[in-house]
Structure 1
Amino acid sequence: MIRATPVVAAFAVAAPAMAQSPPPVGQPVVVEQTLSGQPIRAPGGDLRITVGQTVIAAGAGLPPHKHPYPRLVQVLAGRLKVTNLDTGQVRELAAGEWVVDAVDQWHSAEALGGEPVRLLTIDQAPPGAAVTILRRP
């Protein structure tokens, strides 16, 4: 089952406005590897696409976790520091950036600065598969 109802609703609301003005001209976003440099490989077989939004309060963070399948992320607002606990890499991301989270590597994240971080997430995984796994202490 595809959970894209909010996306469909957004297109329905935006459609009349799009018909009245030409589409914006921009550069395509091309992402060829994960945040940690891994090649991006889609899982074989049937896929379930899940689109979501995550909000991280100013000064807060996400606990250690990993994603067994590719997760495309756009930073909609704020600044985010991602620490890969397997490789030691630290990346800072800003509003407007697109990345693919590391696949099957433990990482954590924290909001930088005084504003919340808003993330748009797009997961592609086999139907019924977990897309985020929290690390147990």
Structure 2
Amino acid sequence: MSKFAFAVFTTACLAITPALAQKPHTTSSAHADVLVKSSTSWNGKPYTTYPAGQPQLTMLRMSIPANTALPWHTHPFPNSVYVLQGQLTIEDKASGKKQVFHAGEGFTESVDDVHRGVSGSTPTVLIITYSGTPGAATFKAEPGQKPEY
């Protein structure tokens, strides 16, 4: 390549480089859908307090096989759940109350009430966010029951 051809090529590259550069981002607001917002759990029991101490949020993706009942358990602090796939029936042990939540729905779990989740005929996937403290377990299995996860 001659010096002249190289100079033309280089000039052309420099001229088109700004055109290929990424455009600056525009500033705009996003859209947000509130999936769940509540001061009570799914069964109507009010939340009263958060645990004392340094806050720690924990988010889990929980996969439950089809036709599976989780062990009976409690939670020591509030948490919220989003059903990503499948469905989940929450059962309250003391009252026998049940409620079904489907893919795309969110709900809040109970604190200190013995309950369990039961999946439907397809696998269930949940996103769960716990509002706890460092070192605190997110659940407590009932005596004689396996851990929830």
Question: TM-score range with shorter-chain normalisation?
Answer: 0.7 to 0.9
For residues 24-44 of structure 1, what are the alpha-carbon distances to aligned partners after superposition, in whole Å with 9 as ceiling and x for unaligned?
A: 454564223101212223223
1:64 and 2:72 equivalent?
A: yes
Higher strand fraction (1 or 2): 1
**Equivalent residues in 2 for 1:1-137 (5 A)?**
23-24=30-31, 26=33, 29-40=36-47, 41-113=49-121, 115-137=122-144
Q: How far apart are residue 98 of structure 1 and its match? A: 1.3
Could you tell me the TM-score, scaled by structure 1's length? 0.76
Q: How far 1:123 moved relative to its partner?
A: 0.8
Q: TM-score, normalised by structure 2?
A: 0.70
Q: What runs of 5+ residues in structure 1 fail to find an aligned partner?
A: 1-18
**CA, structure 1 residues 27+71, in 2 after alignment: closer, same or farther (shift >3 Å)?**
closer
How many percent of aligned residue pairs carry the same amino acid?
28
Assess, with a 3 A threshold, how the Cα gap between structure 1 residues 57 and 31 changes in structure 2: closer, same or farther: same
Runs of 4+ in 1 over 4 A off after TM superposition: 19-22
- Is the 8 Å Cα contact of residues 70 and 116 (structure 2) preserved in structure 1? yes
* Count of residue correspondences: 118
Q: In structure 2, what residue type is equivalent to 1:135?
A: E
SS in 1 for 2:70: strand
Q: CA deviation at 1:22?
A: 7.0
Segments of 5+ residues of structure 2 without an aligned counterpart are: 1-24, 145-149
